[in-house]
Amino acid sequence: MIWRFNHKIRSIPFGKILRVETLSPATIHWSVDDWNTVNDSQTHGVDLGIYMADLTTESLAEGAQVKFTFFWLQENRWENVDYTINIDKG
C-alpha cells in the first residue's frame, strides 16, 4: 500500500508493507508503539524524482497503528506533523 502527500491513506490491510513516497529525500521517523520506540528509514530515489521507503509493517497485528513523520534532508527540518496508519483486517 502506498502513502503519498496527495494520497494519504489512513489504513492498510493486515499483512501488507507500507510504502511511503515523497518528492525529496527524507528520513521517515516512525513507531508502532505510540512513540515508545522509534525506527528511522531513509528514502531512496527511484525514477521521475520520486523517493520511497518501505516500512516493515507486514507482521503488525490487526488494530495496530503506525505513526510517522519526516525529517527533510535537503532542508534540514522536521515536518512537525504526525501521520497515523491503522492496520485493518486483511
Residue 76 has pLDDT above 80, yes or no: yes
| Tens-place pLDDT, residues 16-65 | 999 999 999 999 999 999 999 999 999 999 988 999 999 999 999 999 99
| Confidence (pLDDT) at 48 | 87
Average pLDDT over residues 6-18: 96
Residue 20, Cβ density class (10 Å: 0-12 exposed, 13-18 middle, ≥19 buried) = buried
- Looking at residue 83, the DSSP 8-state letter turns out to be E
Average pLDDT over residues 59-87: 97
Which residue, among 15, 11, 3, has the nearest Cα to 69 in the 3D structure? 3
| Confidence (pLDDT) at 47 | 84
| Confidence (pLDDT) at 73 | 97
| HEC per residue, 16-73 | CCEEEEECCCEEEEEECCCCCCCEEEECEEEHHHEEEEEECCCCCCCCCEEEEEEEEC
Residue 66, Cβ density class (10 Å: 0-12 exposed, 13-18 middle, ≥19 buried) = buried
Residue 87 has pLDDT above 90, yes or no: yes
Q: Which CATH class, in words, describes the domain spanning 2-88? A: mainly beta
Residue 89 has pLDDT above 90, yes or no: no
